[in-house]
Structure 1
Amino acid sequence: MCYSTSNKEKSIAQMERELEAQKKASLNYKPHYWMTGFAHETIYAVTQENPSIIDEMTWGIVEPWTNDVSERWKKLAGKSLNTQAEYVFENNRSEEAILKRRCIIPVTGYFEPYKIKSASYPHLVQPVHETYLGLLGVYNTINGINYTSILTAPANSFMEMVHNGKKRQPIMLDPNYWKEWVSNDLNDGQIRHLMFQCDTEQELEAFTVLRTATNARADNNVPEILDKQYFPEVVEQQKYDIRQADVYNENWDNLNSGNQNPTNLFG
């Protein structure tokens, strides 16, 4: 799942450069340190219908025939924010959108909960070298408003160590395939290939942040929400998790290793 994101760049210029697109003339760009999808605020995307333009999206997809969007959101809850890629061709909110209305949603990072028993320790996941991750999305348009959802899939070996409860992740498409995702020339098989076989090769890092970061009711849109926090119990548990893993992931070197009192997870 992916219910909160960050888009911290003060200017949209870097987004335009990395996506090779220009902002829509009427777009009023507003950065955020933290945003919860449950507030159904504006996020940005390049779309299949107009891949050279960065457009505005309202986070929370609904069926294209929906009359009362707010009431539908109440019933769907988190299901409007994320769509499982395994069922995107059958889901009545996305079965047409996956063919005709795909989008790339740029974020500078997103937040996922790491669990130790019943305790939750939110992590910020972000690229090390680039500014943006490109999350896969689909959308429906109702009365001129785009309502979008982020596609999710089973977690890769790195994200399993971060989102260790439900072990899912937003699909982070490799930048080499961003333009292909929003092209009109894809069949079902090619769409599935991009969703499940083209995970980003960007170097990632993940570290603990303030524990309110996954609380949708908290006032988290502050710079401090992006600061690294040190929890020794998390570092020790993740060291144990990695030792138990069957497959090494090079991004594990960046898992909480930059916190205060940095710990080499392989030391």
Structure 2
Amino acid sequence: MCFHTSQTKKVLELENRYDVSLSDSYAREAYDIPRYHLNGFTHPHMLIIPQEKSSVLAHALWGIVPQNKDSEEISDYYKEAVRFGGGLNAQSEKLQEHFIYKKSVKSRRCIIPVTGFFEPHEYEGKKYPYFIKDKNDDVLSLAGIYTIINQVVTFTILTKPASPLFSKIHNKKNRQPVILDKDFEQNWLRADLNEGGINELINLNYNENELKAYTVSRDLFSPLINSDSPSIMEEVKYEGVSIN
């Protein structure tokens, strides 16, 4: 699963990387602030590239909400949905059948740019967070879907069965987010993409040689510690904990 991410790039860097423009110029200053740890369960605002307007970076709430809800109901829905994972992730295997996902997958797919994400590794009954990033510090494109509640955009990150690398990292749930290959990421936003094309992009194996993964502080899991700081992305080694 993918409940914790990082986004430390400036808006201009994202605009240049994806050839897009920020939809709300007044939000530039806020999104230029680096976010070292975005905890999905706080439902933060993040930037996405939506299929319906793929030339922009739009701000959206992390945690997909059913289309039949009103904007005033979003907070209450999140409180109820926490037992289902808060809408933070969507299993790609259920895209065509789930009552929320099937309405979004055809015309409301999105790219979520992140500089990295965190996954839990279990060792001797304890969880140790791994940080996964591009080895050259490029942005990673996660695949997602979204809904629009009045004018509020809500999104979720797609997951799939773990690859060999992620099965070592996320060794309890054996899941991983869908990372789009740079050469095919724009295909994810194509209006004419059919079900077969969607599944093909989801099932493409991302080149694991392009990723760097290492353990970080267990402060990531503590609600009493503000882990949204540069130190949370620094490597911390633990005796016996290794995926090599």
Task: Return the TM-score normalized by structure 1.
Answer: 0.84
Task: Give, in angstroms, the shift of residue 35 of structure 1.
Answer: 0.8
2:87 to 52, 60, 80: 80
Q: Which has the larger radius of gyration?
A: 1
**Which amino acid is 2:186 matched to?**
K
- Partners of 1:37 and 1:202 lie apart in 2 by 27
- Partners of 2:50 and 2:110 lie apart in 1 by 4
- Partners of 2:105 and 2:207 lie apart in 1 by 20
- Aligned-pair identity in percent equals 33
Deviation digits for residues 196-254 of structure 1, max 9, x if unmatched? 1253566101101000213456411011101111112113xx34xxxxxxxxxxxxxxx
Find the counterpart in structure 1 of residue 210 from structure 2: 203
Structure 1 unaligned runs (5+)?
240-267
The 3-state SS of whatever aligns with 1:70 is helix
1:157 lines up with 2:164 in the alignment: yes
Question: 1:1-267 counterparts in 2 under 5 A?
Answer: 1-9=1-9, 11-26=10-25, 27-28=27-28, 29=31, 30-67=33-70, 68-77=73-82, 78-197=85-204, 199-200=206-207, 203-215=210-222, 218-235=225-242, 238-239=243-244
Find the counterpart in structure 2 of residue 251 from structure 1: none
- Partners of 1:165 and 1:15 lie apart in 2 by 33
- Partners of 2:211 and 2:224 lie apart in 1 by 28
Q: CA RMSD in A?
A: 1.5
- Partners of 1:232 and 1:6 lie apart in 2 by 25
Structure 1 pair 15/200, CA: closer, same or farther in 2 (3 Å)? farther
- Partners of 1:140 and 1:217 lie apart in 2 by 32
- Partners of 2:15 and 2:207 lie apart in 1 by 19
- How many residues in Structure 1 have an aligned counterpart in Structure 2? 236
- Partners of 1:123 and 1:221 lie apart in 2 by 15
- Partners of 1:39 and 1:216 lie apart in 2 by 11
**Which amino acid is 2:132 matched to?**
V
- Partners of 2:197 and 2:42 lie apart in 1 by 33
**Which amino acid is 1:141 matched to?**
I
**Which amino acid is 1:38 matched to?**
F
Task: Give, in angstroms, the shift of residue 177 of structure 1.
Answer: 1.0
- Partners of 1:58 and 1:172 lie apart in 2 by 20
- Partners of 1:224 and 1:182 lie apart in 2 by 35
Structure 2 unaligned runs (5+)?
none
**Which amino acid is 2:14 matched to?**
M
8 A Cα contact 2:163 2:205, kept in partner? no
Structure 1 pair 69/22, CA: closer, same or farther in 2 (3 Å)? same
**Which amino acid is 2:56 matched to?**
I
- Partners of 1:150 and 1:105 lie apart in 2 by 8
The 3-state SS of whatever aligns with 1:232 is coil
8 A Cα contact 1:112 1:123, kept in partner? yes
